Amino acid sequence: MSEHPEFTNLILEKYVTGDLHGQKRTDLETSLKTDQALQQRLANLEKHNASFRANPAYADMLQTIKTARSRQPGAMLRSLVHLPKLQTHAWTYQLAAVLVLSVALVILLLPFDAGDGGTRTKGSTPELEVYLVKNQRQAKLFNNSSIQAGDLLQLRFLSSAYHYGVVLSIDSTGQSFIHYPERIDQSTQIKKEQTINIGHSYEIAAKSSYEDFVLILSNHKLSAGDIVKTAKRAGNTARLRDALAVNDSDLVFETITINVVK
């Protein structure tokens, strides 16, 4: 049994979808490093979600919602949810209300094409995405996924409402590597509400037992060189987060840990 019962299934679901932030996310990621039962719960949830997304009905639902988004709000919801005629049973109104609110929420969170070579996401939350590249295909990895030494990874991130961003990684030996921008002397300025693909692949070193990939976002100017220097002094993501938060309390700090199997 997990030693951390405070991590409910809802919290794990929010973590998987990138909606868990702040200290609760940090506490969960710390516990995941040592709590095998918690790791298994997360793996089971990710497997269930992957199975759901693989269902053809899921793709049909997304297509229906995307098509409906261009309509008037009232007509859009009526096309998605055919509400029953008024009846005397209270549960009928409750069910209809839940359906309408659920569909509206999904519509607001759906990404739309920016038409400028990137993907703009309306009302997005910051998110770092890590993909395993094999046989010219990409498979999305989640926190505490396991890969082989020498595997190639591809990274991308959602900028949300922030103007500056840095992506780096710190491995189990304390070594750090900058992923975005490509060089530490380059600008960290980014466009708001964009999905930014990092052009180069990254090979996992055999010397490391895990690697933390870190997304740092802010509306204050970030220096990639200063952050890399701080990461080298810190030696791990927890100390790096604490060091950076001293000067920027509004800093977004997202981490994905990838385990390396020898």
Instruction: Find the mean pLDDT for residues 223-249.
Output: 93
DSSP per-residue codes, 202-222: EEPPTT-SEEEEEEEEESS--
What number is the average pLDDT over the span 69-73? 47
pTM: 0.57
257 in Cβ contact with 211 (< 8 Å): yes
Q: Give the model confidence (pLDDT) of 129-157 as tens digits.
A: 999 999 889 999 999 999 999 999 999 99
Q: Does domain 120-261 have CATH number 2.60.120.260?
A: no
What pLDDT digit, counting tens, does each position of 46-57 carry? Answer: 877 776 666 665
> How big is the chain by its Cα radius of gyration, in Å?
21
- Domain limits of the chain? 120-261
Say how far apart CA 95 and CA 88 lie, in whole Å.
13
- The helix/strand count (H/E) of the chain reads as 8, 12
Banded pLDDT at 8 (limits 50, 70, 90): confident
Instruction: Look at residue 79 and tell me whether its pLDDT is greater than 80.
Output: no
